Amino acid sequence: MGIKRGTTLAAVAVVVACAATACGGNDTAGDTTKPAGAVAPAESPSAGGDGYGYGAGAASASDDAAAAEPGGQLAVAQNEQLGPVLTDSAGFTLYRFDKDTAKPSKSNCDGDCAKTWPVVAAGDATAAAGTDPALLGEVVRTDGSKQLTVAGWPVYRFGKDTKAGDTNGQGVGGTWFAAAPDGKKAAKAAAPAPAAKAAAGALTVAKDPKLGDHIVDGNGMSVYRFKPDTAWPMVSKCEGDCVAKWPVVPPVARADAKGIIEKNYLVLDRPDGQKQQTVNCWPVYTFTGDKKAGDVNGQGVGGTWYAVAPDGKLITVQ
């Protein structure tokens, strides 16, 4: 492969360790999640109409392959609009192409496309600090050269980025996007939803004819758990657009938690900067689909979202 794997894996989610004796026994419910993908930004004014992004201002009409750019020591840059963005050793933004495939890895950018979007060579690439080295790989291109992949996606630079930190390739042709450190499309985490702020202040217990006793917030809105989350270690796997739909319950003082079993009543520091209340180490949320106090429209959604009992357990009855 020729890929150096010197860095250590850093979890995407922040892990907060509750005491092993307190949180070791829980109703663990799987680790998979399907957060909604990032919304594509508006197409760049320089975008080519064919989606390849090189229709306007192509470097040349020749079919000769462009020289690959070295990856070197990759890094993660913070972009105000896009959040964390993967860069090469020179600080230039790396991009992925929607017309490529990740499983199996395949590049569909050749000829003039590869002149506007120079491929990043695989040979000398080293994972960015704090990212998983196992995400790096390579794909053999049609000319026999090896291109760096991140989570299976071939990565490129953009010819119109002239200095480190430029992101002029973002959204070009509706198919080119800056790569996040995990190989996904870069997208800034959603801001805390207004409903999450409004819910601050208290947690109480309400009774539903079907669900029985379940936790509600200070506005009477039902509180839910996400099955892919874990309590030991304490991790939320609802991020980005998922949080926009399922706002986190902000911290609530113990004195304002009425009827809640307060064992392991802790606050989770999330990767997006929000602080989230947990009940018995389980992160808890509200649901934007609930419009008034007493609604339980989130119950059973996707087979992964359920109301929360006073002791933090899932209520799985429908």
pLDDT tens, the chain, 318 aa long: 445 444 333 333 333 344 444 554 444 443 333 333 333 343 443 444 456 665 543 433 334 445 788 989 999 999 989 999 999 999 999 999 999 999 999 999 999 999 999 999 998 899 998 889 999 999 999 999 999 999 999 999 999 999 999 999 999 999 999 999 999 999 876 655 554 444 446 899 999 999 999 999 988 999 999 999 999 889 999 998 899 999 999 999 888 888 988 778 899 999 888 999 999 999 999 999 999 999 999 999 999 999 999 999 999 987
CB neighbour class for 89 (10 Å; exposed up to 12, middle 13-18, buried from 19) = middle
Name every residue whose Cβ is closer than 8 Å to that of residue 152 and which is 6 or more positions away in sequence.
Answer: 101, 102, 103, 104, 105, 137, 183
Count how many Cα atoms sit within 13 Å of the Cα of residue 175 in the half-sphere of its side chain: 19
- In angstroms, the CA 46 to CA 288 distance is 38
Q: Return d(Cα 265, Cα 273) in angstroms, integer.
A: 19
Taking CA atoms, 260 is separated from 81, 144, 281, 296, in Å, by 40, 62, 13, 19
Contacts of 183 (CB under 8 A, 6+ apart): 96, 102, 135, 149, 150, 151, 152, 153
Q: How far is CA 250 from CA 69, 82, 130, 313, in A?
A: 45, 25, 27, 19
User: How far is Cα 112 from Cα 96, in angstroms, rounded to an integer?
Assistant: 16
Tokens of 223: 């509180």
Which helix (H) or strand (E) segment holds residue 113: the answer is: helix 112-116
Encoding tokens for residue 133?
């080295």
3-state class of 254 per DSSP?
Answer: helix
How far is Cα 145 from Cα 162, in angstroms, rounded to an integer?
Answer: 25
Per the omega criterion (within 30 degrees of 0), is the bond before 181 cis? no
Residue type at 116 in one-letter notation: T
User: Which pLDDT belongs to residue 47?
Assistant: 41
- Please report how many Cα atoms fall inside a 13 Å half-sphere around the Cα of residue 162, on the Cβ side: 0
Tell me the whole-structure pTM to 2 decimals.
0.47
Walk across the sheet containing 224-226 and list its strands: 224-226, 305-308, 314-315
pLDDT of res. 3: 52
